[in-house]
């Protein structure tokens, strides 16, 4: 039995097609693994940022207490003097309560 050129071409194409079919699910699996790893990494980063944010909020909260203010005033040798209402001016804060 002689195999014609067209048949040979078809056979080689079939081999290529079979291997491409085998490659596609592996490619999907690999991409899935890479994306899963990226999601895990991003989630880890988000958790770290959240933790950092909480630490910062706690630090700000601690630093706004009167106790801390008095303590730091003593450390930095600052004396509080009472000022009259006429001499005081309103300073805006980046806070939602103050417009």
Partner 1 sequence: MARASYDDWNFMGEVHTDEQRVRSARSGRARQINNARNSFIFLCIVILMTLMGLVCIYSASYEMAVNEGRPHYYYLMMQGIYLGIGVALMVFVNVLPETGLKILSPVMFFLCIVALAVEIILKKTLLMTPDTVGVLFLSGVMYMSLYFSGRNNRIERLRQIIPPLVGSLLVLVLILMQRNFSYAVMFLALMVTMFAAGGVGLVGIILLLLYALVPAACMLFSTSERILAVAEFFVPGFGTNVRAESILTVKSAIASGSWFGKGLGGGLYKNGVIEDIAGRNILACICEELGFWGMILIILFIALYAFVGYLTARNIRKYNCFFSNLATGITTMLVWQFILNVAWVLGYIPGEGLPLPFFSFGIGIIPVLFESGLLYRVTRARTGSDKDERLMDSIQNELMFPERYDFENR
Q: From the list 10, 34, 71, 72, which residue makes contact with partner 1 (rule: CB under 8 A)?
A: 34
The distance of closest approach from Cβ of residue 36 to partner 1 in the complex, given in angstroms and rounded to an integer, is 9
The distance of closest approach from Cβ of residue 33 to partner 1 in the complex, given in angstroms and rounded to an integer, is 6
SS (H, E, C) the chain: CCCCHHHHHHHHHHHHHHHHHHHHHHHHHHHHHHHHHHHHHHHHHHHHHHHHHHHHHHHHHHHCCHHHHHHHHHHCCCCCCCCCCCCCCCCCCCCCCCC
The distance of closest approach from Cβ of residue 62 to partner 1 in the complex, given in angstroms and rounded to an integer, is 39
Site string for partner 1, 5-24 (x = CB under 8 A): ---x--xx--xx--x--xx-
Does residue 31 touch partner 1 according to CB under 8 A? yes
């Amino acid at each position: 039995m002689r195999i014609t050129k067209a048949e040979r071409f078809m056979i080689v194409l079939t081999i290529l097609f079979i291997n491409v079919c085998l490659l596609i699910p592996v490619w999907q699996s690999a991409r899935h693994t890479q994306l899963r790893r990226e999601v895990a990494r991003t989630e880890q980063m988000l958790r770290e940022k959240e933790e950092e944010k909480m630490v910062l909020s706690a630090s700000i909260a601690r630093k706004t207490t009167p106790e801390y203010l008095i303590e730091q005033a003593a450390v930095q040798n600052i004396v509080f003097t009472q000022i009259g209402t006429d001499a005081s001016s309103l300073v805006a804060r980046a806070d939602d309560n103050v417009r």
